[in-house]
């Protein structure tokens, strides 16, 4: 006998606030619609995944439906093909957003665990708030901040780098980079780039124009320590050109 879909999220989360909505969610959408056998559950999962992707939904509800799709037979290869195909129609950025979630859902398929990145302090979340200041995908994992010294683990995928930028301060300020994983680069304006490896330390005084990021063939992580100062700020400038970056070995 086919598995019956049972959902209680509506009553669990909204039963006291919106009981009618909870009823429609649990009893009608999932209770009746999802248990209709005119199409099989795997197909229904795929349709739902594409519909949510088209709508730009990338929150926990999409994670639930990705997990549901996996539970009903959608393989990692099929999920990748579905998301790629849909991205041509609904938008490439939506494809990227869904792939970030799908990679986590299918990472243990066939007993193969995704290679972990982020070093000792962990990968964290996609650095979406600062994505416009990066070429490629970066990740941010805050480590400390309550003491007045902000420390975050920043991870760059291969080829990713941030724009030229300047840490400004009336007094003090600047940044300290403590390299923890992979191979990367640091460069100050008008100087040769410096290759970075785990254990390397970079001291960046306030007022110095610079950039840093991963090598073309390696993930790279560093702790970014914001040094205390008065009236500190960060000025983001132009992107590092492909000519400048690709000249590095």
**From-to residues of CATH 1.20.1290.10 in the chain:** 9-111
Tokens of 121: 């302090």
**From-to residues of CATH 2.60.120.10 in the chain:** 119-246
Give the separation between CA 202 and CA 207, rounded to whole angstroms.
15
Residues with Cβ within 8 Å of residue 154, at least 6 apart in sequence: 127, 138, 139, 140, 141, 221, 222, 223, 224
Place of tokens 């006291």: 16
Q: What is the pLDDT of residue 112?
A: 42
Contact 208, 218 (CB under 8 A): no
CATH 1.20.1290.10 fits 9-111, yes or no: yes
**pLDDT 10s per residue in the chain (249 long)?**
356 777 887 888 888 898 899 898 888 888 888 888 888 989 999 999 999 999 999 888 899 999 999 999 999 999 999 999 999 999 999 999 999 999 999 987 644 444 578 888 889 999 999 999 999 999 999 988 777 788 999 999 999 999 999 999 999 999 999 999 999 999 999 999 999 999 999 999 999 999 999 999 999 999 999 998 899 999 999 999 989 999 997
Q: What is the pLDDT of residue 2?
A: 53
Q: What is the pLDDT of residue 115?
A: 58
Total-model pTM: 0.55
Q: What is the pLDDT of residue 111?
A: 46
Q: What is the pLDDT of residue 118?
A: 85
In order of 19, 73, 110, 202, the CA distances from 67 in angstroms are: 26, 10, 15, 42
Architecture of domain 119-246: Sandwich (2.60)
Q: What is the pLDDT of residue 189?
A: 96
């Amino acid at each position: 006998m086919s598995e019956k879909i049972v959902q209680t999220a509506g009553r669990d989360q909204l039963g006291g606030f919106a009981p009618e909505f909870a009823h429609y969610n649990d009893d009608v959408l999932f209770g009746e619609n999802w248990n209709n056998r005119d199409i099989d559950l795997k197909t229904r999962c795929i349709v739902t995944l594409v519909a949510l992707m088209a709508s730009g939904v990338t929150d926990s509800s999409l994670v639930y439906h990705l997990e549901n799709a996996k539970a009903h037979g959608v393989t990692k290869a099929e999920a990748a093909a579905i998301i790629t195909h849909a991205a041509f129609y609904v938008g490439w950025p939506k494809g990227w957003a869904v792939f970030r979630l799908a990679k986590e859902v299918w990472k243990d398929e066939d007993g193969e665990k995704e290679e972990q990145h982020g070093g000792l302090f962990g990968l964290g979340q996609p650095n979406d708030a600062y994505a416009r200041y990066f070429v490629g995908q970066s990740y941010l994992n805050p480590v400390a901040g309550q003491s007045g010294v902000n420390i975050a683990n920043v991870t760059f995928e291969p080829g990713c780098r941030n724009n030229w930028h300047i840490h400004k301060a009336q007094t003090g300020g600047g940044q300290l980079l403590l390299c923890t994983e992979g191979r990367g680069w640091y460069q100050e304006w008008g100087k040769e780039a410096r290759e970075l490896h785990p254990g390397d330390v970079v001291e960046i005084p306030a007022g110095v124009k610079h950039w840093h990021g991963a090598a073309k063939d390696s993930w790279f992580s560093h702790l970014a320590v914001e040094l205390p100062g008065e009236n500190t700020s960060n000025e983001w400038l132009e992107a590092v050109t492909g000519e400048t970056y690709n000249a590095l070995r």
